[in-house]
Amino acid sequence: MQPQYQMTGSASSELALQQNRVLRNTFLLLALTMIPTVLGAFVGVQMQFSLFAGSPLMSFLLFLGIAFGFMWGIERTKDSGVGVLLLLGFTFFMGLMLSRILQVALGFANGASLIAMAAGGTGVIFFSLAGVATVTKRDFSFLGKFLFVGMIVVLLAALANIFFQIPALSLTISAIAVMIFSAYILFDISRIVNGGEDNYISATLAVYLDIYNVFVSLLNLLMAFSGERD
Protein backbone atom coordinates (compact mmCIF):
# COMPACT_ATOMS: atom_id res chain seq x y z
CA MET A 1 0.00 0.00 0.00
CA GLN A 2 2.92 2.35 0.60
CA PRO A 3 3.66 2.98 -3.10
CA GLN A 4 0.00 3.93 -3.60
CA TYR A 5 0.24 6.49 -0.80
CA GLN A 6 3.42 7.85 -2.30
CA MET A 7 1.77 8.19 -5.71
CA THR A 8 -1.23 9.96 -4.16
CA GLY A 9 1.04 12.34 -2.28
CA SER A 10 3.08 13.00 -5.41
CA ALA A 11 -0.08 13.74 -7.44
CA SER A 12 -1.33 16.14 -4.74
CA SER A 13 2.04 17.87 -4.67
CA GLU A 14 2.08 18.23 -8.45
CA LEU A 15 -1.46 19.65 -8.43
CA ALA A 16 -0.52 22.20 -5.75
CA LEU A 17 2.55 23.24 -7.75
CA GLN A 18 0.46 23.66 -10.90
CA GLN A 19 -2.13 25.79 -9.07
CA ASN A 20 0.61 27.97 -7.58
CA ARG A 21 2.18 28.32 -11.05
CA VAL A 22 -1.13 29.40 -12.59
CA LEU A 23 -1.70 31.90 -9.77
CA ARG A 24 1.81 33.34 -10.06
CA ASN A 25 1.62 33.63 -13.85
CA THR A 26 -1.83 35.21 -13.59
CA PHE A 27 -0.57 37.93 -11.24
CA LEU A 28 2.48 38.58 -13.44
CA LEU A 29 0.42 38.82 -16.63
CA LEU A 30 -2.19 40.92 -14.82
CA ALA A 31 0.53 43.41 -13.87
CA LEU A 32 1.70 43.43 -17.49
CA THR A 33 -1.81 44.19 -18.79
CA MET A 34 -1.79 47.46 -16.85
CA ILE A 35 0.86 48.85 -19.24
CA PRO A 36 -1.25 48.75 -22.46
CA THR A 37 -4.29 49.81 -20.43
CA VAL A 38 -2.55 52.95 -19.18
CA LEU A 39 -1.06 53.56 -22.65
CA GLY A 40 -4.48 53.19 -24.29
CA ALA A 41 -6.06 55.52 -21.74
CA PHE A 42 -3.30 58.10 -22.25
CA VAL A 43 -3.66 57.99 -26.04
CA GLY A 44 -7.44 58.20 -25.74
CA VAL A 45 -7.32 61.21 -23.43
CA GLN A 46 -4.83 63.01 -25.69
CA MET A 47 -6.95 62.30 -28.78
CA GLN A 48 -10.22 62.93 -26.87
CA PHE A 49 -11.31 59.52 -28.13
CA SER A 50 -14.97 58.55 -27.72
CA LEU A 51 -16.59 55.52 -29.28
CA PHE A 52 -19.93 56.80 -28.02
CA ALA A 53 -19.85 60.08 -29.92
CA GLY A 54 -22.56 58.90 -32.34
CA SER A 55 -25.65 56.81 -31.61
CA PRO A 56 -25.30 55.53 -28.00
CA LEU A 57 -27.03 52.23 -28.77
CA MET A 58 -25.00 51.50 -31.90
CA SER A 59 -21.81 52.52 -30.12
CA PHE A 60 -22.64 50.24 -27.20
CA LEU A 61 -23.31 47.32 -29.54
CA LEU A 62 -20.09 48.07 -31.44
CA PHE A 63 -18.15 48.05 -28.19
CA LEU A 64 -19.69 44.71 -27.19
CA GLY A 65 -18.91 43.28 -30.63
CA ILE A 66 -15.24 44.31 -30.47
CA ALA A 67 -14.85 43.23 -26.84
CA PHE A 68 -16.47 39.82 -27.34
CA GLY A 69 -14.46 39.35 -30.54
CA PHE A 70 -11.25 39.88 -28.59
CA MET A 71 -12.41 37.56 -25.79
CA TRP A 72 -13.37 34.85 -28.27
CA GLY A 73 -9.96 35.11 -29.90
CA ILE A 74 -8.17 35.01 -26.54
CA GLU A 75 -10.02 31.87 -25.49
CA ARG A 76 -9.28 30.19 -28.83
CA THR A 77 -5.54 30.90 -28.53
CA LYS A 78 -5.14 30.71 -24.75
CA ASP A 79 -2.60 27.88 -24.99
CA SER A 80 -0.14 29.86 -27.11
CA GLY A 81 1.75 33.14 -27.15
CA VAL A 82 -0.87 34.53 -29.54
CA GLY A 83 -3.31 34.50 -26.63
CA VAL A 84 -1.00 36.78 -24.65
CA LEU A 85 -0.67 39.19 -27.60
CA LEU A 86 -4.45 39.28 -28.08
CA LEU A 87 -4.93 39.88 -24.36
CA LEU A 88 -2.51 42.81 -24.44
CA GLY A 89 -4.28 44.17 -27.54
CA PHE A 90 -7.61 43.82 -25.75
CA THR A 91 -6.34 45.71 -22.70
CA PHE A 92 -5.09 48.52 -24.96
CA PHE A 93 -8.58 48.72 -26.46
CA MET A 94 -10.11 48.76 -22.98
CA GLY A 95 -7.71 51.56 -22.07
CA LEU A 96 -9.02 53.53 -25.05
CA MET A 97 -12.56 52.92 -23.83
CA LEU A 98 -11.54 54.01 -20.34
CA SER A 99 -10.31 57.34 -21.67
CA ARG A 100 -13.84 58.70 -22.04
CA ILE A 101 -14.67 58.49 -18.33
CA LEU A 102 -11.18 59.81 -17.53
CA GLN A 103 -11.85 62.84 -19.73
CA VAL A 104 -15.08 63.46 -17.82
CA ALA A 105 -13.29 63.05 -14.47
CA LEU A 106 -10.52 65.44 -15.49
CA GLY A 107 -13.21 68.02 -16.19
CA PHE A 108 -13.66 68.33 -12.40
CA ALA A 109 -11.39 70.58 -10.35
CA ASN A 110 -10.36 67.55 -8.28
CA GLY A 111 -10.43 65.12 -11.21
CA ALA A 112 -6.90 63.78 -10.74
CA SER A 113 -7.64 63.09 -7.08
CA LEU A 114 -10.86 61.27 -7.97
CA ILE A 115 -9.00 59.03 -10.42
CA ALA A 116 -6.29 58.33 -7.82
CA MET A 117 -8.93 57.52 -5.19
CA ALA A 118 -10.74 55.16 -7.56
CA ALA A 119 -7.45 53.43 -8.42
CA GLY A 120 -6.49 53.19 -4.75
CA GLY A 121 -9.91 51.87 -3.77
CA THR A 122 -9.76 49.29 -6.54
CA GLY A 123 -6.31 48.22 -5.37
CA VAL A 124 -7.49 47.81 -1.78
CA ILE A 125 -10.51 45.75 -2.89
CA PHE A 126 -8.40 43.55 -5.17
CA PHE A 127 -5.57 42.81 -2.74
CA SER A 128 -7.95 42.28 0.18
CA LEU A 129 -10.21 39.82 -1.64
CA ALA A 130 -7.35 38.11 -3.48
CA GLY A 131 -5.66 37.69 -0.10
CA VAL A 132 -8.80 36.13 1.40
CA ALA A 133 -9.16 33.70 -1.51
CA THR A 134 -5.45 32.80 -1.49
CA VAL A 135 -4.92 32.44 2.26
CA THR A 136 -8.17 30.73 3.24
CA LYS A 137 -8.27 28.53 0.09
CA ARG A 138 -12.02 28.38 0.59
CA ASP A 139 -14.08 27.35 -2.42
CA PHE A 140 -16.31 30.26 -3.49
CA SER A 141 -17.65 28.51 -6.59
CA PHE A 142 -21.16 28.58 -5.07
CA LEU A 143 -21.23 32.31 -5.92
CA GLY A 144 -20.99 31.62 -9.66
CA LYS A 145 -24.67 31.46 -10.64
CA PHE A 146 -25.66 34.38 -8.43
CA LEU A 147 -22.86 36.57 -9.80
CA PHE A 148 -23.65 35.67 -13.41
CA VAL A 149 -27.30 36.65 -12.94
CA GLY A 150 -26.22 39.86 -11.23
CA MET A 151 -23.86 40.71 -14.09
CA ILE A 152 -26.62 40.17 -16.68
CA VAL A 153 -28.98 42.40 -14.67
CA VAL A 154 -26.33 45.15 -14.49
CA LEU A 155 -25.67 44.86 -18.24
CA LEU A 156 -29.38 45.08 -19.10
CA ALA A 157 -29.88 47.99 -16.72
CA ALA A 158 -26.93 49.83 -18.28
CA LEU A 159 -28.39 49.20 -21.73
CA ALA A 160 -31.81 50.51 -20.61
CA ASN A 161 -30.24 53.61 -19.09
CA ILE A 162 -28.78 54.53 -22.48
CA PHE A 163 -32.36 55.45 -23.41
CA PHE A 164 -33.69 56.71 -20.06
CA GLN A 165 -30.60 58.62 -18.86
CA ILE A 166 -31.70 58.49 -15.20
CA PRO A 167 -28.88 59.69 -12.87
CA ALA A 168 -30.22 57.73 -9.89
CA LEU A 169 -30.31 54.53 -11.96
CA SER A 170 -26.76 55.15 -13.15
CA LEU A 171 -25.56 55.47 -9.55
CA THR A 172 -27.47 52.36 -8.52
CA ILE A 173 -25.92 50.40 -11.38
CA SER A 174 -22.44 51.59 -10.35
CA ALA A 175 -22.98 50.67 -6.69
CA ILE A 176 -24.27 47.19 -7.57
CA ALA A 177 -21.45 46.72 -10.10
CA VAL A 178 -18.83 47.45 -7.41
CA MET A 179 -20.34 44.70 -5.24
CA ILE A 180 -20.82 42.22 -8.09
CA PHE A 181 -17.35 42.56 -9.58
CA SER A 182 -15.66 42.69 -6.17
CA ALA A 183 -17.30 39.35 -5.44
CA TYR A 184 -16.14 38.17 -8.87
CA ILE A 185 -12.53 38.87 -7.81
CA LEU A 186 -13.06 36.53 -4.86
CA PHE A 187 -14.71 33.96 -7.12
CA ASP A 188 -12.10 34.06 -9.90
CA ILE A 189 -9.05 33.96 -7.61
CA SER A 190 -10.68 31.13 -5.64
CA ARG A 191 -11.12 29.15 -8.87
CA ILE A 192 -7.40 29.42 -9.57
CA VAL A 193 -6.40 28.51 -6.01
CA ASN A 194 -8.71 25.48 -5.95
CA GLY A 195 -7.85 24.22 -9.43
CA GLY A 196 -11.05 25.31 -11.19
CA GLU A 197 -9.03 27.37 -13.69
CA ASP A 198 -5.76 25.94 -15.00
CA ASN A 199 -4.98 28.43 -17.78
CA TYR A 200 -3.32 31.65 -16.67
CA ILE A 201 -4.37 33.60 -19.80
CA SER A 202 -8.06 32.87 -19.23
CA ALA A 203 -7.61 33.57 -15.52
CA THR A 204 -5.93 36.91 -16.24
CA LEU A 205 -8.71 37.94 -18.62
CA ALA A 206 -11.38 37.20 -15.99
CA VAL A 207 -9.59 39.03 -13.15
CA TYR A 208 -8.69 41.97 -15.42
CA LEU A 209 -12.36 42.51 -16.31
CA ASP A 210 -13.27 42.35 -12.60
CA ILE A 211 -10.73 45.04 -11.72
CA TYR A 212 -11.65 47.19 -14.72
CA ASN A 213 -15.35 47.21 -13.83
CA VAL A 214 -14.70 47.92 -10.15
CA PHE A 215 -12.50 50.89 -11.09
CA VAL A 216 -15.00 52.37 -13.57
CA SER A 217 -17.90 51.94 -11.15
CA LEU A 218 -15.98 53.46 -8.23
CA LEU A 219 -14.95 56.43 -10.37
CA ASN A 220 -18.58 56.98 -11.40
CA LEU A 221 -19.64 57.06 -7.76
CA LEU A 222 -16.79 59.35 -6.71
CA MET A 223 -17.56 61.81 -9.51
CA ALA A 224 -21.23 61.88 -8.47
CA PHE A 225 -20.62 62.40 -4.76
CA SER A 226 -17.22 64.11 -4.55
CA GLY A 227 -16.70 65.84 -7.89
CA GLU A 228 -15.93 69.56 -7.61
CA ARG A 229 -16.82 71.78 -10.54
CA ASP A 230 -14.43 74.57 -11.53
Domain boundaries, the chain: 2-226
Give the CA angle between residues 110, 114, 117 to the nearest 5°: 135
Q: What is the value of pTM for the model shown? A: 0.90
Whether the Cβ atoms of residue 207 and residue 185 lie closer than 8 Å to each other:
yes
CB-based burial label for 58 (10 Å; 0-12, 13-18, 19+): exposed
For residue 113, the SS3 value is: helix
From first to last of its 230 residues, the chain has per-residue pLDDT tens of 455 555 455 556 666 677 788 899 999 999 999 999 999 999 999 998 877 666 777 888 888 899 999 999 999 999 999 999 999 999 999 999 999 999 999 999 999 999 999 999 999 999 999 999 998 888 888 888 999 999 999 989 988 887 888 889 999 999 999 999 999 999 999 999 888 888 999 999 999 999 999 999 999 999 999 888 86
What string of H, E and C letters represents the secondary structure of 136-147? HCCCCHHHHHHH
Count of residues making up the chain: 230
Distance CA 117, CA 215 (A): 10
Whether the Cβ atoms of residue 70 and residue 89 lie closer than 8 Å to each other:
yes
Distance CA 214, CA 119 (A): 9
